[in-house]
Structure formats: C-alpha cells, structure tokens
Amino acid sequence: MADEEELILSDLPDDELVLQMHDDLYDGLKDEIIEAVEILLSRNWTPYDILTKALVEGMRIVGIDFRDGILFVPEVLLAANAMKGGMGLLKPLLVETGAPRLGKMVIGTVKGDIHDIGKNLVSMMMEGAGFEVTDLGINNPVENYLDALEAEQPDILGMSALLTTTMPYMKVVIDTLIEKGMREDYIVLVGGAPLNEEFGKAIGADAYCRDAAVAVETAKELIARKHNQVAAS
C-alpha cells in the first residue's frame, strides 16, 4: 500500500525479521528474501538456522495454504523462487559449515512419459523446502534411475507419470529395486494426475503424493521416521 511507510528490513529485530521473511516468502519477494538472509548472516546467524527457521518454516506455511486450496501453483512457484534466491547465498555456506542436510532426492518422469510440469513443481517445492534435488527429466528407463541412485546416494526416489499407460512402469522400477535388494535403501514417492493412494500401495511405493506440497510434507515425515528408526536401533 503506497501510503504506508516503507519497511526497512535491517531495522527489524531478529524475531520480527524472521516473521517478515515468512511473509515475504509467501508473497514471493525474492530480492527482499536475499536481503534478509544477508542481514541475518551479518548478525552472525548460522546458515543452518537461517535455512530452517526463516526459509523452510516460511515455505512450510506456503505449503499448508497450497494444500488447503488458498494458494495455487503460481504463488507457490514464486515463493519457491524467492526461497531459491536465499538458498543461493546459503548453499556454499551450508557446505562449508558442515550443517546437517535435510535430505536428497532423485526424481524423474518414467519411461514413455514426456510430461514434466508436475515433476518440475515437486522439484521446485522440494528445493524450496531445503532438499537437494537431482532431476532426471522425462522418459526415464529403469537404468537411469539406478545410475542416479548409485551416483547421488539420495534418501528419496521420486517418480512421476501423467499417463495411465505409463503409470505401471513405476512398478517396473520398484520391482527392479526389490530384485537388486536396494528397495529398503530409499524412500520411494510416486505422483501424477491419474494416480491415487491405492495405486501407490499396489505397486509398493512408500507413499503416493497428491501434489507437490504433500510430497514435501511426506518426504519430511518419512525421513524423520527413518532417522528415528536408525537412532532406535
């Protein structure tokens, strides 16, 4: 609103600045997010705290409103884009400081399927939530997935299909993982317009994700569960 006073980010105390960052992520304001990350860094915040408390938390709120039908894809993409702006600054610092990573995902549309918008949304939202994502693109035979799993050692394998004729290929990939004794090494998430929960179960995936926001939530939950299991054993 034009008649309101211009807000100076650097004048805000830490707690208010973080809340403002949540708002700015919600509104997809990339420049403001970058500026705020710089301010927090100058105030000696750790890159990991900035990532989790400001950016990931802000995107969590975006994800909730997306899930609840208050925000739609365009707003979510702008938010994810703003998040990526902040991540650009944080990424090298996170590596330097040896901060724990949230998780890594390999994702691709299955063989025979050339649809990519849904998969791209999941990639962007996962990156927006702080995950590392390797995107294999479209039309991936099982070998592509196996090579990428080998090379990237991800926590999560994501598969997408938009065609009823290509959905069954997800099962081919999962069956191959089982055959090679690798299935339990990864969390397998599947998605795509014609799929449903029943289908996800039928082919042996860990979860079907209705949309990109659900994919992020599910990924976080299953990774936390896996860590707990490791800690308990």
Residue of the chain from 171, 183, 204, 226 that contacts another protein (CB under 8 A):
171
Give the nearer residue to another protein in terms of CB position, either 72 or 88: 72
Write down the least CB distance from residue 190 to another protein, Å.
11
Query: Binding of another protein at residue 149 (CB under 8 A)?
Result: no
Q: How many residues bind another protein (CB under 8 A)?
A: 47
Q: Tell me the three-class secondary structure of 51-85, residue by residue.
A: HHHHHHHHHHHHHHHHHCCCCCHHHHHHHHHHHHH
Which of 21, 41, 34 is CA-nearest to residue 84? 34
Q: Facing residues of 208 across strands?
A: 190
Give the nearer residue to another protein in terms of CB position, either 89 or 138: 138
Write down the least CB distance from residue 120 to another protein, Å.
8
In sequence order, what are the residues at sequence separation of 6 or more whose Cβ sits closer than 8 angstroms to the Cβ of residue 97? 46, 47, 48
- Which of these segments, 42-50, 82-90, 183-191, 199-207, binds another protein (CB under 8 A)? 199-207
The owner of tokens 């991936």 is: 140
- Which of these segments, 116-124, 128-136, 152-160, 179-187, binds another protein (CB under 8 A)? 116-124
What binding mask, one character per residue, do residues 12-41 give for another protein by CB under 8 A, x or -?
Answer: -------xx--xx-x--x--x---------
Q: CA–CA distance from 100 to each of 65, 103, 146, 220 (Å)?
A: 27, 9, 25, 14
Write down the least CB distance from residue 166 to another protein, Å.
5
Query: Binding of another protein at residue 178 (CB under 8 A)?
Result: no
Say how far apart CA 71 and CA 92 lie, in whole Å: 31
- Which of these segments, 50-58, 89-97, 148-156, 164-172, binds another protein (CB under 8 A)? 164-172
Which of 115, 110, 37, 122 is CA-nearest to residue 80? 122
Q: CA–CA distance from 132 to each of 16, 26, 102, 111, 163 (Å)?
A: 28, 21, 8, 23, 27
Query: Binding of another protein at residue 139 (CB under 8 A)?
Result: yes
Q: Facing residues of 189 across strands?
A: 158, 207
Residue of the chain from 10, 143, 153, 194 that contacts another protein (CB under 8 A):
194
- Residues in touch with another protein (CB under 8 A): 1-2, 4-7, 19-20, 23-24, 26, 29, 32, 65, 69-70, 72-75, 77-78, 111-117, 120, 138-139, 163-169, 171, 193-194, 198-199, 202-203, 211
